[in-house]
Amino acid sequence: GAVVSQHPSRVICKSGTSVKIECRSLDFQATTMFWYRQFPKQSLMLMATSNEGSKATYEQGVEKDKFLINHASLTLSTLTVTSAHPEDSSFYICSAPDQNEKLFFGSGTQLSVL
């Protein structure tokens, strides 16, 4: 079946550094991908919708300049957390719909900023 691969699964970085998270659709093309964030004991919240070949659409309250999204191909979307700070520590997860609009999720990335 369809698979979405997300890397890395866990990253620890120093405050002020940038972290890139990749989301790949392995056996289908995804013109759209979704990025979610989950803080401890809270819901998964949609951050942005990544659109292949065009700008991402960000949800209200999500800083575009802090969370850079690039969807350069039909199988890859990246989320870069720029100048990460401890408050950015969270669980990030991507998803992509296949041609039948069935959603597939990556396994998530646990980001810890020291």
Partner 1 sequence: GDSVTQMEGPVTLSEEAFLTINCTYTATGYPSLFWYVQYPGEGLQLLLKATKADDKGSNKGFEATYRKETTSFHLEKGSVQVSDSAVYFCALSFLGSSNTGKLIFGQGTTLQVKP
**Contacting residues toward partner 1, per CB under 8 A:** 4, 6, 9, 32, 34, 36, 38, 41-46, 49, 93, 95-97, 101-108
Q: Which is nearer to partner 1, 53 or 61 (CB)?
A: 61
Q: Within 13 A of 94's CA, how many CA atoms are on the CB side? A: 31
What is the Cα–Cα distance from 39 to 44, expressed in whole angstroms? 8
Q: Least distance in Å: CB of 81 to partner 1?
A: 20
What is the Cα–Cα distance from 51 to 14, expressed in whole angstroms? 30
Q: Least distance in Å: CB of 95 to partner 1?
A: 6
Q: Which is nearer to partner 1, 10 or 85 (CB)?
A: 10
Q: Which is nearer to partner 1, 14 or 41 (CB)?
A: 41
Closest CA to 98 of 31, 15, 49: 31
Q: Least distance in Å: CB of 103 to partner 1?
A: 6
What is the Cα–Cα distance from 114 to 100, expressed in whole angstroms? 41
